[in-house]
Structure formats: C-alpha cells, structure tokens
Amino acid sequence: MEHLIPFVPYTGWVYPNETVFEWSVLIAVYPYLTGLVAGAFTVSSLYQVFHFERLKPVAHLALLTSLCFMIFVPMPLLLHLGHPERAFNSTITPHLTSAMAMFGFFASFYVGLLLLEGWFAYRPFIVEQAQRRTGLLGRFYRLLTLGSYDVSENAMRYDRKWIFALAVIGIPAAHGLHGYVGFMYGSLKSREWWSSDLMPVIFLFSAIISGVSLLAVLYVVSCKLRKITVDLACLKGLAYTIWAFIMVALVLEGLEFANIVYKGREGVDMIMQYVTGPLLIPYFILQFAVGAITPFFWLSYMIWRGTTGKALVVGVTVCALLVLFSVFMMRWNVVIGGQEISKTGKGLLSYHLPLLGKEGALVAIALTLAPLALLFGLTRLFPPWEDDAKLTEATGH
C-alpha cells in the first residue's frame, strides 16, 4: 500500500476507504504515452495506406516514434504496482473479461506489428549497411537481414505489399489499444466523472491530435538540427490534421460535460461545485482555453490567411506544443480529477503531486522523455529522413 497517496480534504465528507488516491500521476502518464503511440501510427498510416504524399517526410519518423513510445508504455504501470514482477500473471493466467488483463496481449501484438513493419520498411537500408559496414555495427545489420539480401524490384514490390497490409492491420490495433483506456474509465460507474459512453471516443481523438502534434514538433526540431529547410507542404498537412481533430475533440468533450450536467444524476451538484472551484484552472483554463481553443483559432487564422514561411513553422510548432499540453491536462483531469470527487458525491479531495519518489513528478517527467532519448538513438541506426535518397529509392516511397 506504499504507493497510495494520502488525501487532503477539500470540502464535504468522505468515507474512510476514500482517504487515498489509488491512481497517481503515473496512471495519467500511461494513457498519455499510449495516445502518442496511436497518433504517431495514424500519421504513418495516412501515408502508407491512404497515400497522403505530403506526409512523406515524416512517414518513417512516425513509425519509429510509435515504436519508441510503445516500448515505454508499460513502465508507468510497472512502477505503480507494488510488485511489478507479478504483472506477467495477467498473461500467464488471463482473465478474458478484464480490460486490464487483456492489455498485455494487445500491447505484445502491437509491438510485434511495429517491429515487423519497421523491418520491412528499413530492409533495403539494412541490407545496404550490412554489405558496406564492418565490425560490430556490421554484424548487427547482418543479423537484422535475417539472411535475406534480395533488394530487387520484385522483392521490393513484395515488401511494399507487406507494409501496406501491416499498416492496415495496425490502424484498428493502434486505435483499439488506446480506445480501451477510455473504455475502462467509461465503464466505471462508481465514479460520476468517468461514467460516460463518450469516454473511449474522446480518448481516441485526443490521442490522434497528440501524436500528430508530437510529430510536427519532432519534424521541425529535426530539420533545425540537420540544418535543412522544413517541407512546408508536409507541415501544412500535419497542421490541417491537428486542426480537424481538435474540432472533433472539442465537440465530443463538450457533449460529454453537457451530458453529465443535463442528466442531473446523484452527485451532479458536487461535480458543478468541483468544476467551478478547484478544477476551474486545470480544466477550463489550462486544458480548454490555453491548450485547445487557442491553438484551434491560431491554426484557423493561419489556414484562412494562407500563412507560409517562418510564420507557419513557428505557429504550427507552438500550436502543437499547446495541444500536447492540453492532452496531458485532459489525462490529468480524468485520472486525478475523477478521484478528487468522492464516490458518494458528498465531498471533494485535493491531490498534491510529490516531487520525489517512484510516483513523483520527476519520475513522470523522466518516463515522458525516455522515449525521445530512445528515438534519438534509433534515428542514428535507422535514419527516417526522406531526404535519404538511397532509402527512398529502395523502398519506393
């Protein structure tokens, strides 16, 4: 029970079994990471499956980003568990009616899919490096070839078919992986703040905009570091995607909130006191006003004016960062906010985020940044940049 966070009463009264926050900030980081995975893979699929040519410069980057973040997705859950070594029991002795238990199978399947699609996408590059390099790195690439050095046009046509098929399978897999998080919260009728049929859809659309926003930031930063010109057509494509999904996410979250208020069920009075009191700043101001409405109108203005050049790059980058912040605040307000309202609806609690400890702010920040460090390393081994002429020519993309 050492991972449970003591509560601080805010107003009203609560039962003794509500004197702790069972889910900490790590459980807010967890759906944030899964959302970035789903959103990044969406960008890759828009190019591989739907042939959005303007997204070509970030197609391989999106695939690597999705893989790096997926590797770290289980870490918040493992750190939160009192005995993380017991986590494998859910897969060894599965409980098929539990959404949490099924996550292990979904995650394992999706990691395998990402590795396989990445291997097909980079196989020409791997073969080239295996034939050119020597030493330890050369042996590494030769091991990755799996004994296949055929990069003829016929072989590449076969590889492209596999990439297409895996991308098609990955679309429902990635979205289902994240949608189940919303399904889990929406199914918990014991919490008025969570019990909503719209929760899975809201989580899904917010995941898409977070992943696309992350790729927009990574692409701009990578171009600056490599000292090359940003492909404005690609950046506009990402901006249009963010803009469109922000509209849908705002409508869905507005409908969910209006639905809770309109139904007027038991506990709604405390919810209204909550959202107009302690949740006013993190929910209405930070999540909506700053993180969603501001980038929506900013992007709308740039689209309307036909902004281009440096103003477009700066505007889209700032808007993408605001969206990333908004989506994290959405996760925070769902996970932590849902626990700040007592199950009886008669009292409110106040969560105080510790700085240190295995469930503190520093660990949460480290878990969020760790996939970026892994991505930095993988881009050295498998360059995702479409300006690599050899990789582009070999894959035909």
Q: Are 182 and 167 in contact (CB under 8 A)?
A: no
Distance CA 172, CA 185 (A): 20
| pLDDT band at residue 105 using 50, 70 and 90 as cut-offs | confident
| Mean pLDDT calculated for residue range 14-25 | 72
133-162 tens-digit pLDDT = 888 888 898 898 888 888 888 888 888 888
Average pLDDT over residues 222-232: 88
Question: How does residue 11 score in pLDDT terms, banded at 50, 70 and 90?
Answer: low
pLDDT at 396: 43
Q: Could you tell me which residue, 185 or 110, shows the higher pLDDT?
A: 110
Cα separation, 144 vs 378, whole angstroms: 14
Q: Looking at the chain, how many residues does it have?
A: 397
Structurally, how many domains does the chain consist of?
1
Q: What is the mean pLDDT of residues 248-266?
A: 76
Alpha-carbon distance 6 to 22, whole Å? 9
Q: Which run of H or E residues covers position 86?
A: none
Query: In this structure, are strands 8-12 and 5-6 parallel, antiparallel, or unpaired?
Result: unpaired
- Rounded CA separation 350/9 (Å): 6
Tell me, what CATH number does 246's domain have?
1.20.1630.10
Kindly state the percentage of the chain with pLDDT values over 90: 19
Residue ranges making up the domain that contains 292: 5-395
Tokens of 155: 């072989």
91: which 2 tokens? 């897969």
What pLDDT is attached to residue 267?
53
SS (H, E, C) 94-141: CCCCCHHHHHHHHHHHHHHHHHHHHHHHHHHHHHHHHHHCCHHHHHHH
363-393 residue pLDDT tens: 999 999 999 999 999 998 898 875 543 443 4
Q: Is it the case that residue 76 has pLDDT exceeding 80? A: yes
Helix (H, G, I), strand (E, B) or coil at 352: coil
Q: What pLDDT was estimated at residue 68?
A: 92
pLDDT in tens, 158-193: 888 888 888 888 888 777 777 777 777 777 776 777
Distance between CA atoms of residues 143 and 24, nearest Å: 42
pLDDT band at 319; cut points 50, 70, 90: very high
pLDDT attached to residue 265: 57
Separation of alpha carbons 274 and 111, rounded Å: 39
As given in the structure block, the two tokens for residue 197 are: 């049929």
Which among 362, 328, 382, 313 is positioned nearest to 39, based on CA atoms?
Answer: 328
What value does the mean pLDDT of the chain take?
Answer: 82
Task: Report CA 159 to chain centroid distance, whole Å.
Answer: 27
Q: Which of 261-265, 273-277, 294-298 has the highest mean pLDDT?
A: 294-298
Please state whether 252 falls in left (phi above 0), alpha (psi between -120 and 50) or beta. Answer: alpha
**CA angle (73, 76, 81) in 5-degree steps:** 130
Quick one: average pLDDT of 81-99?
77
Model pLDDT, residue 392: 39
In angstroms, the CA 305 to CA 295 distance is 15
Task: Give per-residue pLDDT as tens, 329-341.
Answer: 988 888 887 777 7
pLDDT at 293: 92
